[in-house]
Amino acid sequence: MSQPPIPTGELRRRDFFGIAGAGLFVFFRSDPAAAQEPGRLPTRFSGAADLNAYLRIGADGRVTCMSGKVELGQGVMTELAQALAEELDVSFDSIDVVLGDTGLCPNDGGTYGSMTTPLLVPAVRRAGAEARAVLLELAAEKLAVPVERLQVGDGVVTGPGQPAATVTYAQLVEGKRIERRLANVSVKPAAAFQVIGKSPRRKDGLEKVTGRAKYCGDMIFPGLLHAAILRPPAHGAKLKSADTSAAEKVAGAQVIRDSGTVAVLHERPDIARQALALVKAEFENPPEGPDDRTIFDHIRKTAPPPRLVGAAGDLAEGERLAAGGIVESVYLNGYVAHAAMETHSATARFEDGKVTVWASTQAPFQVRSAVMSALDLPAGQVRIVSRYVGGGFGGKTEAEQGVEAARLARIAGKPVQVVWNRQEEFFHDRFRPAAVISIRAGVAGGKIVLWDNQIVGAGDRDAVPFYDIPHRRTTSAGGWMGGNPPGMNPFEVGPWRAPSVNSITFARESHIDALAVKAGVDPLEFRLDNLSHARMRRVLETGAKQFGWKAGRAPSGRGVGVACGIYSNSCNAAFAEVAVNRSTGAVEVKRIIMALDVGLVVNPDGMRQQAEGCVMMGMGAALTEEVKFRSGEVLTRNFDGYPLARFSWLPKVEIVFVDNPGNASLGGGEAPMIAMAAVLANAIYDAVGARLLQLPMTPERVVAALAKG
Amino acid sequence: MERILSFRLNGQRTSVKVDDQRMLLWVLRSDLGLTGTKFGCGEGLCGACTVIVGNAAVRSCVTPAGAVEGKQVLTIEGIGQNGLHAVQRAFLSHHAFQCGYCTPGMIVSAYALLLHTPHPTREQIVKHMEDNLCRCGAHGRIVEAIQEAAVAKKGGAL
C-alpha cells in the first residue's frame, strides 16, 4: 500500500478539509482514452490536476460523491449514486451526491457532449472499488481476519465464524482522516451488478415534486435586490442615451449605470421591471441584415472556406458509375432556441470579499472563470453553485447572467438576483445555427456509389456518413463551435442537443430515402444493403422488428418512415408512423419506435426518459420550432411565437435497447434526438409523396411541397 | 393601489401589504417567499406559475394579487404539506419530470383537474394539461402519473 499525498486540485488542501471534514477520501478522474475502449475502465489518478470527482465516507456512514457536473434533469445525481453504491457495496439510499459547486467539487469540465456516462461513471466505479478495498484492509486489521475471509454488504463488513464479528464502514472511518491509495483494484463484472442496470427512484424526485428544489432564482437572502437590465432592441444596436430619471423616482428603486450597462434594482422583481420600463433609451439601430427567409443565401455567401472532413475514392468515378441514378438536393434548417423552462438565472452574494454566485449553468467552472475575469477576482474568492438547473440542452454552457449578478451585487453592496424574462431568454440564446446542407449522391444496382456533401453552418461533428460509399467527400464550413466570420450569423450561436449531428442527420437520412426511391427499394432494406456497420445494423433490425416494419416502396401511403444516426458512438434508429392532412398540411405523429445502442445502460429508466424527451423535443424542432428575426432583431419573444411539442402531440412511444452490456457505457442524452427530423420527413414522404427539404416542416411548407408535387 | 390583502394561503390566514395590481406570482415568490411556484414566460403561456385560487387553476403571472382577496390560494407548498398527495406520489413513481422546473405547475394543474374531474379520461387529461409546457418531454409520464393518481384517489388514498 502506498500513501502519496492526496491532491485537491484547485481547492487548497486546508480549505478543502475544512469544508469536507473527516472521513475516507478517494479522488479520481476520468480517462477519456479508456472510455472509447469497451470493457476497460480508466487508469487510476496519477496527476495533480484535472481531478474528476471524489467521494467521502463520513463518520455517520453517509457516503458523499462530489462532481462538478450539473443536474439538468438528465439524472446524473441518480446515476452516479448507482455507480458508487454498486462498487462500494453500500445502499443506494446512503449516498448523497453534491454537484456543480466549485467550492466543493473538483473541476471536471462542463455538463455537455454526453460525457458524464462514458467518462465519469467509470471513474466513480473505480473510486468506489478502491475505497471498498481500503475499507476491507482496515477491517481486516480491526477484526484480525484476512481480507479474503471478509464479506461486505450495505456498508457492513462481516468476518467468519459464529457469531460473526462485524464492523461498519462508519466505525472504520470514525473520527479519522484516512488517506490511502491502492493499485490494481478491479471493478465488478457486469454479471455481478445489483444496482447498475436497475432504475431506482431518482435522487432529485422528492425535492422536485414538492417545490422544495431550489433553482438559482429561488435563492432568497436578507436585503436581496432583483435586477432588471436594459437590453438593446436588436443585436448590434448601440445605446445612444438613456434617461433614467423616471425610474429613479420609483420608491425603493436603485438605478445602476456601469460601463454601458443600465439596470434597475428593487427588492421586488416585478417592480424592478416596471421601473426599467420607465427608462427612456435611444439606440442606434444596426445596419440592415438578413432575416429568417434570406438567411440561407446569407450564410452561404458569408461562410468561411469549406474544410474537408472526410473523403474516399474518386468522385468522378462515382459520377460515372451512378450515371442516371443521381439525386441532388439542398436541405435547410433555421435557427432553433433551447427554450428551457427555466430562464437564465443567478443570485450573487458577497461575504468578506468573496462572492458566491448561484448560477443556472451547465459549466460552473467556466462561469467561475468569467466572473473572476469580469470582477478581477482570484479563484479563491469566487464560488459558483449550480445545484438544480431547469433545463440546459446546450443553452446554458455560457451563463452571462452569473457575471451580471456578480457585478451588480458588488456595485450595490447587497445580494442581487438576475432572472432573465422570456424575451431576454430568446434574445440572448445562442441558437442552433441555421444550416444549408447540399448533397449530390448516386445509386447504381441498389448501392450508393457517390456522396458529395457540402455542409454550411452546421459544423462537422460526426459528419462523415457511416454507410459503405466508395466515392465520397464531405466538407464543412462554419458551425456552432465558433470560428465563424463576423456577421455570418446575426447573433451568437452555440451547441444545441447533439450539435451538428441533428442538422446533418436530417439531410443525410432524407437523402438516403430519396436514393432508395431512386433505386426502387424499401428504405430499410436500402439502408441495410449499404451498411456494414455491425452495431448500426443491429439497431435498425431491432427497431424494425419492434415497429413491425413491412417492406414497401415509398410513397406507400402508409405514412411510415425510418432514419438512423450515430452521435458520439451511440447508435440509434427511429421508426415513425404519421398522418398528413393534405389540405391543411398538418402532420400528426402517431407512433415512434426508437432503438438504441448506448452500450451498458446504467439506469434503463433514466435512459428511457432521455429518449422520450428527445422524441418530444425532436418533434418540436422538426415540425414547428423556428426563430424569427430581422436585422438583428429577434422577433420570437415568447412561447406563443415558438410552439413547443405539447401533450396533444404525444405519440405512442416505445424505446428499445439493443442489449450490449459488454460494451462501455455511451452517452444517451443527445443521441436519441438526431434521427427525429429525418424520420418524420421520410414518413411524410411515404404518406403523401412530398419531400420536405426545410425544417421545420410547418403546415405551410407541407402544403407548398404537396403543390410542387 | 397599495393595501392590506387578506386571503388564505395553503390553509393559513395571510395578510400582506401590496399594490393589488401586482401579479400574484411575484407576491408569492418575493413578498411571501414561496418559491415553489415558478416563473416561465410572464404571459400565461407556459403554466409554470400555476396555482389554485378557489377551485380553479390560474396562471399566477397574469393574475393580479387583488383577485385573491378573501379567497383560498393553494400552491405546490400547500399540496405537499400534510404528506405527499396522490399526484405527487405518482409523479415520483413514474419519474414524470426531468429538470423539474415545470413540475410544480404540472402537479398543481393536475390537482385542479382531479378536483373537478376525479376520474378523467386520457383525452380529458391531455386537454386539461395542454397549455402546461415541458421542454424535457416528460409528457407521456405525466399523463400516466395523473391516471394513476386518479385511481389512487378512488381508493381513498388522497
Please indicate whether residue A225 or residue A37 has the higher confidence score (pLDDT): A225
Cβ neighbors of A261 (< 8 A, separation 6 or more) are A229, A230, A404, A407
**b vs e for B3-20, b when ≥16 Cβ sit within 10 Å of the residue's Cβ?**
eebebebbeeeeeeebbb
Q: In the prediction, which pLDDT does A259 show?
A: 86
Beta bridge partner(s), residue A200: none
Q: In the prediction, which pLDDT does A26 show?
A: 62
Q: What is the DSSP letter of A481?
A: T
Within its chain, how far is the Cα of A277 from the centroid? Answer: 35
CB neighbours of residue A48 within 10 Å: 10
* Domain membership flag for residue A8: no
Q: Are B55 and B116 in contact (CB under 8 A)?
A: yes
Q: What is the per-residue pLDDT across A326-354, written as a single tens digit (0 to 9) for each?
A: 999 999 999 999 999 999 999 999 999 99
What is the rounded average pLDDT of the residues A100-122? Answer: 84
Entry field: residues in chain B: 158
Q: How confident is residue A178, by pLDDT bands cut at 50, 70 and 90? A: low
Beta bridge partner(s), residue A229: A263
8 Å CB contact of A340 and B143: no
Q: Are B44 and A283 in contact (CB under 8 A)?
A: no
8 Å CB contact of B95 and A609: yes
Distance (Å) from the alpha carbon of A522 to chain B's nearest alpha carbon: 31
Q: Do A400 and A252 share a structural domain?
A: yes
CA dihedral A531, A532, A534, A535 (to 10 degrees): -30
Whether the per-residue pLDDT at A605 is higher than 70: the answer is yes
Cα distances from A232 to residues A82, A489, A636, B18, in angstroms, run 47, 18, 15, 31
Q: Do A232 and A205 share a structural domain?
A: no
Cα distances from A275 to residues A253, B2, B23, in angstroms, run 7, 17, 15
The whole-angstrom separation of Cα A441 and Cα A318 is 9
The whole-angstrom separation of Cα A239 and Cα A237 is 7
Closest C-alpha among A612, A502, A113 to residue B134: A612
The whole-angstrom separation of Cα A415 and Cα A350 is 7
What is the rounded average pLDDT of the residues A310-326? Answer: 97
**b vs e for A236-257, b when ≥16 Cβ sit within 10 Å of the residue's Cβ?**
bbeeeeeebeebeebeebbbbe
Place of cell 420609483: A250
Query: CA-nearest residue of chain B to A642?
Result: B45
For A201, the closest of B92, B100, B139 (CB atoms) is B92
CATH number assigned to the domain comprising residue A403: 3.30.365.10
Cα distances from A438 to residues A294, A358, A514, B121, in angstroms, run 17, 44, 14, 47
Q: What is the per-residue pLDDT across A526-558, written as a single tens digit (0 to 9) for each?
A: 999 999 999 999 999 999 999 999 999 999 999
Peptide bond into A696 cis (omega under 30): yes
Q: Are A650 and B140 in contact (CB under 8 A)?
A: yes
CA dihedral B55, B60, B66, B68 (to 10 degrees): 20
Q: In the prediction, which pLDDT does A111 show?
A: 86
Query: CA-nearest residue of chain B to A272?
Result: B26
What is the rounded average pLDDT of the residues A215-229? Answer: 97
Q: Cell for A542? A: 431491432
* Domain membership flag for residue A436: yes
Q: Do A515 and A660 share a structural domain?
A: yes
Whether the per-residue pLDDT at A13 is higher than 80: the answer is no
Whether the per-residue pLDDT at A89 is higher than 90: the answer is yes
For B30, the closest of A268, A388, A645 (CB atoms) is A268
When the pLDDT of each residue in chain B is averaged and rounded to a whole number, the result is: 96
Q: How confident is residue A174, by pLDDT bands cut at 50, 70 and 90? A: confident
8 Å CB contact of B43 and A271: no
When the pLDDT of each residue in chain A is averaged and rounded to a whole number, the result is: 91
Q: How confident is residue A104, by pLDDT bands cut at 50, 70 and 90? A: confident
Q: In the prediction, which pLDDT does A57 show?
A: 83
Q: What is the per-residue pLDDT across A183-192, written as a single tens digit (0 to 9) for each?
A: 678 899 989 9
The whole-angstrom separation of Cα A616 and Cα A125 is 32
* Domain membership flag for residue A425: no
Q: In the prediction, which pLDDT does A68 show?
A: 87
Q: Cell for A352? A: 468578506
8 Å CB contact of B39 and A217: yes
Q: How confident is residue A263, by pLDDT bands cut at 50, 70 and 90? A: very high
Whether the per-residue pLDDT at A630 is higher than 60: the answer is yes
Q: In the prediction, which pLDDT does A183 show?
A: 66
Q: Do A547 and A656 share a structural domain?
A: yes
Q: What is the 3-class SS of A571-596, one letter each residue?
A: EEEEEEEEEECCCCCCEEEEEEEEEE
Please, what are the domains in chain B? 2-79 (3.10.20.30), 86-154 (1.10.150.120)
Q: How confident is residue A4, by pLDDT bands cut at 50, 70 and 90? A: very low
The whole-angstrom separation of Cα A613 and Cα A672 is 9
Peptide bond into A42 cis (omega under 30): no
Q: In the prediction, which pLDDT does A105 show?
A: 84
- Vertex A653 angle, CA A648 and A656, to 5°: 165
Q: Do A357 and A281 share a structural domain?
A: yes
* Domain membership flag for residue A18: yes
Closest C-alpha among B76, B17, B105 to residue A211: B76
High-pLDDT (> 70) share of chain A, % = 91
The whole-angstrom separation of Cα A668 and Cα A606 is 9
Q: How confident is residue A303, by pLDDT bands cut at 50, 70 and 90? A: very high
Q: Do A444 and A305 share a structural domain?
A: yes
Q: In the prediction, which pLDDT does A18 show?
A: 52
Q: What is the per-residue pLDDT across A231-259, written as a single tens digit (0 to 9) for each?
A: 999 999 999 999 999 999 999 999 999 98
Q: Helix, strand, or coil here: A199?
A: coil
When divided into structural domains, chain A yields a total of 3
Q: Do A397 and A468 share a structural domain?
A: no
Q: Are A223 and A414 in contact (CB under 8 A)?
A: yes
What is the rounded average pLDDT of the residues A202-208? Answer: 97
Please say which residue of A210, A234, A255 terminates a domain: A210
Q: What is the per-residue pLDDT across A369-401, written as a single tens digit (0 to 9) for each?
A: 999 999 999 999 999 999 899 999 999 998 899
Q: What is the DSSP letter of A59?
A: T
Q: Do A640 and A567 share a structural domain?
A: yes
Low-confidence ranges of chain B (pLDDT < 70): 154-158
Q: How confident is residue A102, by pLDDT bands cut at 50, 70 and 90? A: very high
Beta bridge partner(s), residue A566: A571
Secondary structure (DSSP) of A609-656 = HHHHHHHHHHHHHHHT----EETTEE---SGGGSPPP-GGG--EEEEE
Q: Do A72 and A58 share a structural domain?
A: yes
Whether the per-residue pLDDT at A1 is higher than 60: the answer is no
Residues 72-111 of B with CB under 8 A from A: 75-77, 80, 84, 88, 91-93, 95, 97-104, 107
Look at A114-128, A422-436, A485-499, B22-36 and tell me which has the smallest mean pLDDT.
Answer: A114-128
For A202, the closest of B39, B76, B95 (CB atoms) is B95
Closest C-alpha among B112, B27, B146, B38 to residue A218: B38
Q: Do A473 and A413 share a structural domain?
A: no
The whole-angstrom separation of Cα A391 and Cα A74 is 9
Beta bridge partner(s), residue B59: B50
Question: Could you give the residue ranges of the DSSP H alpha helices within A339-420?
Answer: 364-375, 400-412
Q: Do A316 and A231 share a structural domain?
A: no
pTM (two decimals): 0.94
Q: What radius of gyration do chain B's Cα atoms show?
A: 15
The whole-angstrom separation of Cα A178 and Cα A707 is 74
Place of cell 415520483: B92
Q: Which of A341, A640, A652 to mutate to test the interface with B (most CBs of B within 10 A)?
A: A341
Cα distances from A227 to residues A255, A263, A347, B91, in angstroms, run 9, 6, 10, 34
8 Å CB contact of A209 and B138: no
Q: In the prediction, which pLDDT does A56 show?
A: 80
Secondary structure (DSSP) of B129-141 = HTT---SS--HHH
What is the rounded average pLDDT of the residues A600-614? Answer: 96
Q: How confident is residue A28, by pLDDT bands cut at 50, 70 and 90? A: low
Residues of A in contact with B75 (CB under 8 A): 211
High-pLDDT (> 90) share of chain A, % = 80
Amino acid of residue A97: V
Q: Cell for A217? A: 432564482
For A647, the closest of B25, B35, B126 (CB atoms) is B126
Taking the CA atoms of A86, A87, A90 and A95 in sequence, report the sign of the dihedral they define.
Answer: negative
Q: In the prediction, which pLDDT does A181 show?
A: 65
What is the number of CB-based contacts under 8 A between chain A and chain B? 174
Q: Are A81 and A600 in contact (CB under 8 A)?
A: no
Q: Do A508 and A452 share a structural domain?
A: yes
Domain that holds residue A223: 216-285+344-419
8 Å CB contact of A343 and B26: no
* Domain membership flag for residue A7: no
What is the rounded average pLDDT of the residues A302-329? Answer: 97
Q: In the prediction, which pLDDT does A252 show?
A: 98
Closest C-alpha among A70, A616, A165 to residue B138: A616
Q: Cell for A220? A: 432568497
Q: What is the per-residue pLDDT across B98-131, written as a single tens digit (0 to 9) for each?
A: 999 999 999 999 999 999 999 999 999 999 999 9
Q: What radius of gyration do chain A's Cα atoms show?
A: 27
CB neighbours of residue A288 within 10 Å: 9
For A617, the closest of B25, B104, B137 (CB atoms) is B137
Closest C-alpha among A68, A342, A96, A100 to residue A215: A342
Whether the per-residue pLDDT at A162 is higher than 80: the answer is yes
8 Å CB contact of B93 and A215: no
* Domain membership flag for residue A290: no
Please say which residue of A160, A191, A210 terminates a domain: A210
* Domain membership flag for residue A680: yes
* Domain membership flag for residue A1: no
The whole-angstrom separation of Cα A653 and Cα A611 is 9
Q: In the prediction, which pLDDT does A663 show?
A: 80
